[in-house]
């Protein structure tokens, strides 16, 4: 979806629709095949299933945050090319949302009950980043995706050895997130100040520890 032909009120309504889809409906995705589709499910103990579900719930909540961040940036970004990059990345993040949600259902678990709060906070951060300037907006993308990659690496190490379906999803997500960071760098992202990166890391840790249980 390209935003350059729409007025700001139009884009606002479009992002509102996308936000409602993210939280309560089926978001618009690229319709890529779920990477876990051909992977057989394994017999997991109750403890392994609970732990895998907690990790996938965190990853789903992280994708809600990423979606909101991209939407906020797309809403306030100045250059149409930057808005287009945000829109495409957001659509790919929707794939991740659907894959994680499907896996949570298979594990007999639920999405984070605090997703609306994660979404609202990330939308505000994304909108502020876009308002600050495109190079800073892209810098937020780079740092966000790098932190997501580190979380995914940690979760891949923690997954029960037999949970190949969750592993296939997280590995594809990691590949996409690293590419999003590279794309933002190539588009002219500015490195964020160290205090900002530390604050983002702190917020991320709070979300991660909370979403695992809630």
Feature table: binding site for Fe cation: 63, 93, 96, 145, 177, 180
Length of the chain: 214
- Residue 6 CA to residue 75 CA, distance in Å, equals 11
CA distances from 136 to 6, 9, 67, 192 (A): 23, 23, 17, 7
Cβ atoms of residues 3 and 83 within 8 Å: yes
Q: How far apart are the first and last CA of the chain?
A: 33
Contacts of 38 (CB under 8 A, 6+ apart): none
The whole-angstrom separation of Cα 184 and Cα 81 is 11
Distance CA 172, CA 179 (A): 11
């Amino acid at each position: 979806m390209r935003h350059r032909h729409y007025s700001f009120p139009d884009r606002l309504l479009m992002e509102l629709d996308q936000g409602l889809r993210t939280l309560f409906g089926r978001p618009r995705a690229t319709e890529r095949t779920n990477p876990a589709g051909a992977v057989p499910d394994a017999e997991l103990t109750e403890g392994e299933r609970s732990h895998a579900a907690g990790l996938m719930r965190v990853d789903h909540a992280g994708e809600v945050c990423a979606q909101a961040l991209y939407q906020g940036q797309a809403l306030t970004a100045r250059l149409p090319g930057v808005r287009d990059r945000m829109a495409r990345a957001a659509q790919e993040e929707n794939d991740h949302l659907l894959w994680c949600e499907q896996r949570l259902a298979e594990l007999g678990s639920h999405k984070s009950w605090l997703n609306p709060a994660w979404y609202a906070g990330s939308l505000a951060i994304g909108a502020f980043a876009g308002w600050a300037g495109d190079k800073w907006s892209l810098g937020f993308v780079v740092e966000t995706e790098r932190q997501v990659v580190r979380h995914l690496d940690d979760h891949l190490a923690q997954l029960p050895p037999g949970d190949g379906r969750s592993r296939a999803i997280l590995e594809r997500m990691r590949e996409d997130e690293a590419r999003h960071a590279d794309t933002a760098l190539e588009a002219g992202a500015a490195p964020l100040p160290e205090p900002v990166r530390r604050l983002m890391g702190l917020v991320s840790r709070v979300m991660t520890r909370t979403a695992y249980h809630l």
